[in-house]
Amino acid sequence: MAVREAVREDLRHLVDELKTQRDELAVRIHLGRQDARDEWEKLEKKLEHLRARAEVVGKEAGDAAGDVGAAARQLVDELKKGYARVRRLV
């Protein structure tokens, strides 16, 4: 139970960090190029997928939660890299 809660808290923190980056970039993207907008749309879909996975972690138990958490962390890494690409484009 403690592992599941720790994974959930870790993911919640990561999602909060991503939301902060997202909010900052949203302002910059408003004036950005089409390339940045295209990348942004892809990242929005991935972020929604991450949020859904974070919900699953809260509902899963034991090893399954760890597996979902690991997959979610990989998605977090993809999002961070994507946000960095967008930042370079705007």
Residues 6+ apart with CB under 8 A from 4: 57, 58, 60, 61, 62, 65
- Confidence check: pLDDT of 61 > 60: no
What pLDDT sits at residue 63?
58
- Confidence check: pLDDT of 88 > 80: yes
More confident residue, 57 or 88: 88
Q: How many CB atoms lie within 10 A of CB 21?
A: 17
Number of structural domains, the chain?
1
Structural domain span for residue 14: 2-89
* In contact, 4 and 57? CB cutoff 8 Å: yes
Query: Tens digit of pLDDT for each residue in 15-49?
Result: 999 999 999 888 877 777 777 888 889 999 999 98
The per-residue DSSP string of 58-77 comes to HH--HHHHHHHHHHHHHHHH
